[in-house]
Amino acid sequence: MSEYLAPHLQLKSAEITPLALVVGDPARAKKAANRLEDVRALAQNREYHTYIGKWQDKEVMVTSHGVGGGGASICFEELIQCGVHTIIRAGTCGSLQPEYREASLIIATGAVRSDGITKRLIPISYPAIAHYEVVQALEQSVKKQTDITYGIGLCVTDGPFYDGPLGNQNELWAKADVLAIEMEVSVLYIVASLHGIRAGAILNVDNYIFERETYEPNRDIVHQGTERMLEIALDAIAALE
């Protein structure tokens, strides 16, 4: 089989490891990569920055996918085409439930498909769900932490960040016990399921949306939650070798 070059990620299939941690922000990818041993940059193109290194003696890869489902779907598809078989997304989210405040963590077992992307891939009746082995690995990893609030359940993946004249359905999702809102998880789960690979997600709460006056994701408490989330995600993905 000839070597594959991912056109957007600019990754060569011969260079990759099958375990990938994905994040939205290239700066967060760099932050995660700095935790690895023997780390090196593989490629940087547009919003897609990829690093490879070792965590707990397991070789893992970190790739950024940018904001929103369209660009993220390109990242997920090309990682899989390169040979990745396990993907964990570590991202931020807004909480829909008052018990989950800043720096709480959400393990997403499934996602409401309001992303605007996946309905073009498969009918909306097809569910966006995490692989059970990834959920188990994330839960086992988060339980090793002390003094941390976390939830396990559904998130909603929404296409727009800012509302237009149509408004949003946040009150509905909250009443349906959806825990959080973000922008890429359902796309990951659909793409992963269609290709038969394992995927899961852990999300750091950066605000409780029903009390938000302005969006301020750069507070110290949010950064602290992100640091713990990255460590938990790396522990989980190393356990999934």
Q: What value does the mean pLDDT take over residues 35-59?
A: 97
Pairing outcome for strands 37-45 and 86-95: unpaired
How does the average pLDDT of the chain come out, rounded? 97
The residue type found at 134 is V
Q: What value does the mean pLDDT take over residues 86-94?
A: 98
Strand locations in 149-197, DSSP E?
150-158, 180-182
Hey, where are the domains in the chain?
A: 13-239
Kindly state the helix (H) or strand (E) to which residue 19 belongs, with its residue range.
strand 19-23
Q: What percent of the chain has pLDDT over 70?
A: 100
CB 50, CB 9: distance < 8 Å: yes
pTM, full prediction: 0.97
The answer on pLDDT for 1 being more than 70 is no
The residue type found at 132 is Y
Q: What value does the mean pLDDT take over residues 107-130?
A: 98
Our CA angle for 137, 189, 49, nearest 5°, is 85
Report the SS3 class of residue 168: coil
* Max Cα distance, the chain (Å): 54
Looking at domain 13-239, what is its CATH homologous superfamily? Answer: Nucleoside phosphorylase domain (3.40.50.1580)
The answer on pLDDT for 158 being more than 90 is yes
pLDDT at 152: 98
Distance, CA of 134 to CA of 89 (rounded, Å) = 11
Q: What value does the mean pLDDT take over residues 46-68?
A: 97
Distance, CA of 227 to CA of 205 (rounded, Å) = 12
**Comparing 9-13, 143-147, 149-153, 193-197, which segment has the lowest mean pLDDT?**
143-147
